[in-house]
Structure 1
């Protein structure tokens, strides 16, 4: 298994988080008129380091914080795909799914998949991939 040379991080972790960061950046630029982050490499290495640390050492000592999550409608005549992956343990059975809703919040299409045994990040990426493919189809 290849590893990032200076931090001894798995390239699989660095690559997966890199793809996810690029996806978030692209969405921010495309849909929210945000400026692209110029420190993508450093941000990705930081996220990969934190991910690897939590995976090896369990929970961090950070205080818990409640975050309210709600769905927001897409623009008029647009649809939105929401995806999620889930894992039974970090390197356990995983699955993913999601749905597409229109600008009125009405269900258009949905999907679900059993992925197998892998890490939770892979479940998220598979669910995202399946959602994108469903949008294209």
Structure 2
């Protein structure tokens, strides 16, 4: 039901489109990760890894180019009073650098995605990061960021303009891309982690247990590609 609700929000607020196979695959992978975390399996061979490798190696997280860190972000939203977001920085070897989960008071799923993206870039500035690749699975964001500020007629206009300004920061070289949801599972689970938090913001200096299966799957996929 959680998946159906999120997909519904994506269609209404982000103008997303989906096919039945994509929805079913997302549910199966999510189900297997949950079993892996809550029930335990042979940690050397997670069922989720088998699923991803057997479907398509192309649909996996890709490391950034040399000298770059990669930031992946995602947002989660239940209703007008509760939203959250998460993000993770990783090296070109896939190593965990830094992550975060945060609760937001937002009006839509798109707002949660934008808040998570803005928070991630602000963390990059604070670290500071000189070369950064940024990825989000919210397709609507890239289209909105391509609009000129004077043509912006949107309830989230101020937030969108602020994110665009951060992405154009002259102190950093930033490459911004939209990616399929299937390649953004670590950030996805960080955003879900935020929804269950009792505090507003939580930094992750090591891999949280709730995202470890997804993180390990990305590392294994890197090895399969290599």
Deviations 1:52-105 (A, max 9, x none): 9x539xx98x7424287421010012100000000114x351000111001000
2:20 pairs with one of 54, 64, 78: 64
Does residue 78 in structure 1 map to residue 68 in structure 2?
A: yes
TM-score normalized with structure 2 length: 0.32
1:87 pairs with one of 65, 77, 97: 77
**CA separation of 1:63 and 1:70: change in aligned 2, threshold 3 A:** closer
Paired with 1:117 and 1:135, the residues of 2 have a C-alpha distance of 23
Kindly indicate whether the alpha-carbon contact (under 8 Å) linking 1:92 and 1:119 is maintained by their aligned counterparts in 2: no
Match for residue 55 of structure 1?
12
Structure with greater strand percent: 1
Cα deviation, residue 111, structure 1: 1.1
Number of equivalences: 82
Structure with greater helix percent: 2
Higher relative contact order (CA 8 A, sep 6+): 2
RMSD, matched Cα:
3.0
* Corresponding residue SS for 1:114: strand
Match for residue 113 of structure 1?
102
- Structure 2, unpaired ranges of 5+: 1-7, 26-55, 127-226
